[in-house]
Amino acid sequence: MVHDVDPLLERATALREALLRREWRVAVAESCTGGWVAKALTDLAGSSAWFERGVVVYSNAAKSDLLGVPPDLIVRHGAVSREVAEAMAVGLRERAPVEVTAALTGVAGPGGGTPDKPVGTVWIAWADGDGVEAERFLFGGDRDAVRHASVAAALDGLLQRAR
């Protein structure tokens, strides 16, 4: 019997190895993925050795209350923006005893898209000792596909920084 390898599990396993090698810990802040990155990481036994925390900040108020994202930043740029993703990643890194964070905010659909930010628009930011950087993605497919691709991209970015 042939088993398909779960691409998220593969990524999470590679990230675990890189974090353990560097003796780093990770935390994630998620909006559009609703905790899926944290789930992918904690699906691995022993994840408490390198996974510190995950926060789901679905509402704008949660982004401000839990991560310190200035409300006026959200008003000026919208929740789905480079500025807010970066503020989420930095805010989490300031609050968690970790070396690297990832933050995701996006429009998973099927509704909620605009001409500027169509369904599938996702901003992911990563913060570490070298600072913060963010990348905009435009994923296709239904809500599940957008969210799955977002999780994969977040894990890829974390792995890139942890190597």
Q: What is the pLDDT of residues 67-90, one digit of tens each?
A: 999 999 999 999 999 999 999 999
pLDDT at 87: 98
Q: What is the pLDDT of residues 128-149, one digit of tens each?
A: 999 999 999 999 999 999 999 9
Question: Domain locations in the chain?
Answer: 7-162
CATH topology of domain 7-162: Maf protein (3.90.950)
Answer yes or no: is pLDDT of 48 > 80: yes
pLDDT at 146: 98
What pTM does this model have? Answer: 0.96
Contacts of 130-136 with CB under 8 Å at 24 or more apart are 132/86, 132/89, 132/90, 133/86, 134/82, 134/85, 134/86, 134/89, 136/82
